[in-house]
């Protein structure tokens, strides 16, 4: 199988109108940060600066929380149907401006345009539609007859799916009658700021959504603020732990969506070509910057050689390069820091004795890039089998029996996602019931739907986002 060469097919950037500088979005308008400080956000594919972003501090977070508190008084008293009108309006505007959002997401994050265009942005709109539908049905959602909003939600999100993570946080919060202060990741603030413009366009009442940009200490200020009633965090387990410590002993509610080390398990009777596609999708989708990535391939010993050979052939066909090119399969790594982490962990794989193989793609000179890589001869003790790499790096382990597959799959501090590939329905059900993972996919991988709850076991966090279950974190209820 050879890589097919196509002429470049870049998506036009003309649809995106970037401002030179972005303030904080507080109380319905863009305002200067108290410090007057700004930092540059860049395009990771070529390191070119895109815009200046406000560095929010404690005073700004305080201002945003106060605005959210004022707005809460009215927003929480609107009927569910009234709130739904705004959320539907937001969803429709997101669809109308989908191309602009997709291009901007790819520019700031490095993900291929075909993913931002066909996966991220449609899912974002779907999420708002889904939760708009819940807003007037909360009494029937299984939380008792009188579910009430929690208050002001402080929300902190990562850079891997910037707008999608925003939608997972904001849509259920608003549907339940809460107001929010959201801190986007420092490297990917631009679609959140464009979303602020959508809030203005939808005439969402001022203060219902506030967006405070900045680095880690800005997130810490949101979490620690006394006026925040609920904290929702998606990010690394290490930071999640710190946040749990900050919140412990306060009245704040907390949900944590953290890291993962998902097992993608292939049995010898699996449809081989589909399984290989699923393995590729599981780990090379979004450059492997996916918390639920299938980063550990567990393959039955009798077919391991064949699966790995087919996988390498398929990896040779992946096109790595310009995220805005419509033919690109694998884009840029989001930051120099993330590239350094992926490189360091991959080097540890070689040092510890695993066998490293990368597709022989040419990588661009500028920007942050890492070739799709697979490690064989991996043992469970290797760091690459235990730690989240969060990059396009797959570790292959083998097993002989279903019991061994379950034991190896569960042998991790995490418990976010897993995949099973087999023709046997009974085996799927047995595996799914014994895998300690919040999400188990069968004969597919990385499929998302707003109606389906998402969340982890163990150090992958607690609480669920999506679906009816995703309402729970944003409601005070008499019976849960």
Binding residues for ligand NAD (CB under 6 A): 156-160, 183, 185-186, 215-216, 219-220, 223, 234-236, 239, 242-243, 257-260, 291, 388, 390, 416, 456, 460-461
User: Is-catalytic flag, 361?
Assistant: no
- Minimum gap (Å) between residue 457 Cβ and ligand NAD: 11
Nearer to ligand NAD, 207 or 219 (CB): 219
- Minimum gap (Å) between residue 353 Cβ and ligand NAD: 26
Query: Which among 413, 273, 391, 399 has a CA at the least distance from the CA of 342?
Result: 391
Query: What gap in Å lies between CA 386 and CA 263, rounded to an integer?
Result: 11
User: Is-catalytic flag, 257?
Assistant: yes
Nearer to ligand NAD, 291 or 397 (CB): 291
Query: What gap in Å lies between CA 209 and CA 90, rounded to an integer?
Result: 12
Distance set, CA 392 to CA 46, 256, 259, 364, 414 (Å): 19, 24, 15, 16, 19
- Minimum gap (Å) between residue 460 Cβ and ligand NAD: 6
- Minimum gap (Å) between residue 281 Cβ and ligand NAD: 17
Nearer to ligand NAD, 314 or 464 (CB): 464
Query: What gap in Å lies between CA 454 and CA 18, rounded to an integer?
Result: 33
Give, rounded to a whole angstrom, the gap between the first and last alpha carbons of the chain.
54
Annotated catalytic residue: which of 11, 105, 257, 387?
Answer: 257
Compute how many other C-beta atoms are within 10 angstroms of the C-beta atom of residue 140: 11
Distance set, CA 163 to CA 84, 98, 124, 269, 468 (Å): 20, 11, 7, 38, 21
Query: Which among 184, 13, 19 has a CA at the least distance from the CA of 104?
Result: 13
Nearer to ligand NAD, 293 or 361 (CB): 293
Q: Are 446 and 452 in contact (CB under 8 A)?
A: no
Annotated catalytic residue: which of 176, 291, 292, 361?
Answer: 291
Nearer to ligand NAD, 113 or 157 (CB): 157
Tokens of 272: 């081989």
- Minimum gap (Å) between residue 184 Cβ and ligand NAD: 6
Q: Which residue is nearest to ligand NAD (CB)?
A: 219
Task: Write out the catalytic residue numbers.
Answer: 257, 291
């Amino acid at each position: 199988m050879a890589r097919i060469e196509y002429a470049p097919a870049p998506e036009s950037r003309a649809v995106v109108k970037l401002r030179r500088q972005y303030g904080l979005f507080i109380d319905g308008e863009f305002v200067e940060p108290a410090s007057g400080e700004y930092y540059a956000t860049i395009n990771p594919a070529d390191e070119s600066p895109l815009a200046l972003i406000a560095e929010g501090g404690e005073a700004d977070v305080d201002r945003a929380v106060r605005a959210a508190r004022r707005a809460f008084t009215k927003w929480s008293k609107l009927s569910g149907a009234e709130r739904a009108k705004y959320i539907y309006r937001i969803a429709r505007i997101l669809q109308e401006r989908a191309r602009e959002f997709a291009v901007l997401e790819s520019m700031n994050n490095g993900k291929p345009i075909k993913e931002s265009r066909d996966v991220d942005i449609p899912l974002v709109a779907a999420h708002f539609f889904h939760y708009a539908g819940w807003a007037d049905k909360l009494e029937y959602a299984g939380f008792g007859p009188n579910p009430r909003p929690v208050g002001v939600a402080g929300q902190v999100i990562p850079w891997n799916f910037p707008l999608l993570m925003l939608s997972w946080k904001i849509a259920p919060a608003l549907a339940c009658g809460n107001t929010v202060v959201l801190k986007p990741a420092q490297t990917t603030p631009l679609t959140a700021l464009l979303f602020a413009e959508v809030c203005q366009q939808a005439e969402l009442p001022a203060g219902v959504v506030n967006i405070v940009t900045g680095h880690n200490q800005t997130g810490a200020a949101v979490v620690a603020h006394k006026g925040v009633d609920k904290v929702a965090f998606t990010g690394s387990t290490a930071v999640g732990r710190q946040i749990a410590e900050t919140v412990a002993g306060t009245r704040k509610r907390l949900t944590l969506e953290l890291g993962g080390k998902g097992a993608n398990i292939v049995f010898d009777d699996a449809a081989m070509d589909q399984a290989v596609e699923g393995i590729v999708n599981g780990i090379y989708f979004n450059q492997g910057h996916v918390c639920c990535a299938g980063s550990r391939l567990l393959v039955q010993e009798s077919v391991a050689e064949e699966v790995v050979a087919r996988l390498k052939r398929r990896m040779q066909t992946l096109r790595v390069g310009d995220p805005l090119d419509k033919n690109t399969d694998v884009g840029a790594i989001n930051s120099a820091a993330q590239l350094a982490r992926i490189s360091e962990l991959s080097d540890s794989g070689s040092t510890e004795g695993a066998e490293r193989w990368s597709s022989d793609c040419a990588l661009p000179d500028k920007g942050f890039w890492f070739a799709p890589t697979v490690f064989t001869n991996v043992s469970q003790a290797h760091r690459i089998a235990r730690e989240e790499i969060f990059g396009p790096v797959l570790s292959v382990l083998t097993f002989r029996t279903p019991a061994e597959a379950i034991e190896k799959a569960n042998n991790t501090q995490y418990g976010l996602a897993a995949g099973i590939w087999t023709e046997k329905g009974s085996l799927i059900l047995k595996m799914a019931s014994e895998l300690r993972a919040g999400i188990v996919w069968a004969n597919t991988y990385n499929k998302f739907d707003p109606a389906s709850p998402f969340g982890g076991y163990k150090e992958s966090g607690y609480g669920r986002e999506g679906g009816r279950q995703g309402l729970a974190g944003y409601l005070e209820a008499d019976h849960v």
